[in-house]
Structure 1
Amino acid sequence: MGKQACIIGLGARTAVGYRAYASAVAVRAGISRIQAHPYMIDKSGEPFMTALHRPLEVHERRKRILSLATSAFDEVLEALPPECKTRLPIYLGLPELGPLFTREDARWISEGLAQHASPLCTPELAILTEGHASGMAGLEQAVAALRSGEAECCVVGGADSFMDPDLLESLDEAGRVASSSNRWGFPPGEGAGWLAVCTAEFARRFKLKSLARVAGVATAQETHGMHTRTVCVGQGLAQAMREAAAKAGTPITRQYCDINGERYREDEFSYAILRVPSAMFVNAVDYVAPTDCWGHTGAATAPLLMMLPIISEDRGFSPGPAPMVWCGSESGLRGAAVLHFNQEVAR
């Protein structure tokens, strides 16, 4: 029991809130910050419809990512006792590498976060440039480190921003951005999310409240990539779902996912649901997809999604004790995690 992974803290910065609780409550209330960008226009000559976090005073993409990441990091650090800050493993998910996000960008953000964290803790930083599912990969690594005894407490996060002229233009040219002329697209967003994760024994020792237990987490690879000529039939997503649910050993009560308006993601979900046992879900089509509130949040997706059921449970709105979170990266990585509630640790 002592090696169980517990979530004891949250941190977030999104278009709908400066902190985790504010962001989650805004999503539950259906508050949306998707609106016309103040100066960026699409190929039709209309403003991009984005979930822009207006208070940010920097414009360069990597600077926006770092600013979001450090703000949310400060919040999640509030949940940790001083004893674990002497050595703190940090897993940060970032966008996938490519022409518009380079290895140098990832290094710059990593160094910036390490510099920001150094006065607050002794960071041991691991960067995962896995895109939308990178936070799930980070959680899987963190849980493995806790169960092996390599660490007792760590933080897992993700940060991303689509507010870059070249990136928006390339997405628009590919027909992927939602607009008046494109129904099957997503609203670009930005944000950062963090989870503080520790062993149950660590939580008991320091009398920390367990917000949720990570009952199962798994990643898999989808061989039929997004936006290619091949047809995705949900094999990778279904595998991640099955493995996470098998580890949890309980029916899933609600799903939280990154369905964002793109046809690909909806089709993949439809196929994946047919590939898993029907008894795996209480209701296979009961899901929450908050992209219509805070936009598509890229590499921040997994930790931001996980805070939604946790805060719903904390406020008495949870539909059940075993929610599943799942998401997928463009390169093919798929990830799923099942949380369990009613697992008080503090005494």
Structure 2
Amino acid sequence: MAASSPPAGHPPLPASDVVVVGVGARAPSGLTALQVTMSVRALKMDPRESHLIDRHGEPMVMCRLPSIGDEVMGVDRFVALGGPALTQAAFAWLAAERRNGRTARPLPVLVALPSRRRPGLDARLEQHLLRGLEARSQVPIDHARSGLIFGCRGGGVEAFRLAIERLRAGEHDAVAVGGVDSWFDPDALEWLDRELRLHSMQTENGFIPGEGAGFSLLTSRRSAASLPRLAQILGAGVASEPRPYGSDEPCLGEGITAAVKRAVAPVGARARRIPWVMTDVVNERHRVDEWSYVMARAFEAFSPDVIHDQPLLKTGDLGAASAAVLLAIAAMRWQTGCAAADCALIGAHSEGPERGALLASRDPTP
């Protein structure tokens, strides 16, 4: 059941000035945020062989949407993933605009994408993604105030941090924030295979690649008016890991620890311990180790019986879409009464040095 009151001995959640009034998601396990959430809860996963061959001569396996043809790659695939998720997230806002007799105002959109260092990344994303998303979603986009963040998983949290900053500064009434990613690219999969990171019978310490998109529509509490408040954002923290995977020296989780501490600072780690975390950890050994350092270094931030959820074990790794999809899952679980707790910390670790943490909760106001 959803947590209807704070854990014993904990103060109630503060009412944040940044709220989530719409979410959308698209992943191999579902075509809407609700479908993705329920499929993950049901432990449903459907990896499929592709026409691409690994170094052992076997078909590469990944989680990908069967509704998108295998011939669709690059920016076209990103648009096919992201457009419907953006439509879902903006639906309530645009419907309210129409009910009030107003022409829908263009929305600023911040989108997290893979690092430019990723092999096979389509260079056309920078010029064509936003226009493609606008055409596919039918959501009017304010291109002058929109942006792309090429920061992989940690960049997903950076997109939220920027949106929160703009909303609190009064620059926007609403901002659509999300991430889109797909590992379905020959160069990207060949790189993972070469680095022994594709999970298989021969490579236990690897992950199953996935693809997906997630979007949330954020507004100030004042601008939310009669819109449904699906969740609220309490804090966001980003930091750089000085020794990411591949460095000569071992990673001690310094970057993600700093990001977590910044995210929980607004509610106070000692006053309000976190009972639920959702991370992008998919059981690669170095990512498991890095998060374990956080639990040790920032132990005061977490409840003794903290629950660690790893939804990407059922969707496949979602790369830059991870943070946005995890937030959508948390919001849907609060709305459907199956959340593990009344607040959740989302943790994201990029392929490079970018690290991010996002603290969200159910909305505490009636």
Indicate the TM-score class for this superposition, using the shorter chain for normalisation. over 0.9
What SS does structure 2 have at the residue aligned with 1:239? Answer: helix
Q: Does 1:76 align with 2:89?
A: yes
Distance in 1 of aligned mates of 2:124 and 2:24: 26
| Residue 273 of structure 2: aligned partner | 251
What SS does structure 2 have at the residue aligned with 1:78? Answer: helix
Q: Does 1:13 align with 2:20?
A: no
| Residue 178 of structure 1: aligned partner | 199
The correspondence for 1:331, drawn from 336, 349, 352, is: 352
Q: 1:46 deviation in Å?
A: 1.9
Please tell me the root mean square deviation across aligned C-alpha atoms, in Å: 1.9
Give TM-score scaled by structure 1 length: 0.93
Alpha-carbon contact 1:34-1:293 (below 8 Å) kept = no
| Residue 195 of structure 1: aligned partner | 216
Q: 1:341 deviation in Å?
A: 1.6
Distance in 2 of aligned mates of 1:102 and 1:342: 38
Q: 1:216 deviation in Å?
A: 0.8
The correspondence for 1:229, drawn from 248, 262, 274, is: 248
Q: 1:109 deviation in Å?
A: 1.9
| Ranges of 4+ aligned residues in structure 1 off by more than 6 Å | none
Alpha-carbon contact 1:62-1:109 (below 8 Å) kept = yes
| Residue 230 of structure 2: aligned partner | 211
Q: Does 1:97 align with 2:116?
A: yes
Q: 1:313 deviation in Å?
A: 1.3
| Residue 10 of structure 2: aligned partner | none
After superposition, where does 1:54-73 map in structure 2 within 5 Å? 54-57=66-69, 58-73=71-86
Q: 1:340 deviation in Å?
A: 2.1
Give TM-score scaled by structure 2 length: 0.88
Gaps of 5+ in 1: none
Amino acid in structure 2 at the alignment position of 1:132 = R
What SS does structure 2 have at the residue aligned with 1:255? Answer: strand
Amino acid in structure 2 at the alignment position of 1:11 = G
What whole-Å deviation, never above 9, does each CA across 1:20-73 have from its counterpart, x for those lacking one?
1011110011101223x1322211122222101111024223221111011211
The 1:232/1:31 distance shift into structure 2, 3 A limit, reads same
The 1:287/1:251 distance shift into structure 2, 3 A limit, reads same
Q: 1:330 deviation in Å?
A: 1.6
Gaps of 5+ in 2: 1-13
What SS does structure 2 have at the residue aligned with 1:253? Answer: strand
Amino acid in structure 2 at the alignment position of 1:78 = F
The 1:274/1:71 distance shift into structure 2, 3 A limit, reads same
Residue correspondences, number: 340
What whole-Å deviation, never above 9, does each CA across 1:264-318 have from its counterpart, x for those lacking one?
1011111122111x33111465211122211001110010011122111111112
The correspondence for 2:361, drawn from 335, 340, 345, is: 340
| Residue 108 of structure 1: aligned partner | 128
| Residue 59 of structure 2: aligned partner | 47
Amino acid in structure 2 at the alignment position of 1:264 = H
Distance in 2 of aligned mates of 1:226 and 1:111: 34
Q: 1:116 deviation in Å?
A: 4.2
